[in-house]
């Protein structure tokens, strides 16, 4: 199962952690893993190229951690909330393979 934790601070998404493997199919064929990877990587890239924000990102096989710097603007929230929506839609379709937790700091 993939476990995503969204970190909220002051009503805004401040970052996220994503760990694990979906176990939906074999490695290289797992559409749930591919979808989560696409959503989280696109989010990280768009924060830089679209929102002009340089997040702190740590990525390894099967995990990613991202945190926003202080003062990230509203575009960063739109990107993060869009990723959140995609993950929630994916969880609805594949509830046994994705868990989303939201935590306030």
**Degrees, nearest 5: CA angle 42-46-49:** 140
pLDDT tens track for 2-57: 999 999 999 999 999 999 999 999 988 999 999 999 999 999 999 999 999 999 99
pTM (whole model) above 0.75: yes
Instruction: Please enumerate, as own/partner, the contacts of 88-97 that have beta carbons within 8 Å and a separation of 24 or more.
Output: 90/32, 90/35, 90/36, 90/39, 94/22, 94/24, 94/32, 96/1, 97/1, 97/2, 97/22, 97/23, 97/24, 97/32
Domain 2-104 maps to which CATH number in 1.20.1280.50, 3.30.70.1490, 3.40.50.10860, 3.40.1190.20?
A: 3.30.70.1490
* Alpha-carbon dihedral 18, 23, 24, 27, rounded to 10 degrees: 90
Confidence band, pLDDT 50/70/90 cuts, at residue 105: confident
Please state the rounded mean pLDDT for residues 54-82.
95
């Amino acid at each position: 199962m993939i476990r995503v934790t969204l970190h909220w601070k002051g009503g805004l998404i401040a970052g996220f952690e994503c760990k694990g493997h979906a176990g939906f199919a074999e490695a290289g064929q797992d559409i749930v893993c591919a979808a989560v990877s696409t959503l989280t990587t696109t989010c990280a890239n768009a924060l830089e190229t679209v929102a002009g924000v340089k997040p702190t990102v740590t990525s390894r096989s099967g995990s990613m951690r991202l945190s926003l710097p202080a003062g990230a603007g509203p575009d960063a929230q739109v990107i993060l909330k869009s990723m959140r929506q995609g993950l929630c839609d994916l969880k609805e379709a594949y509830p046994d393979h994705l868990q989303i937790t939201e935590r306030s700091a």
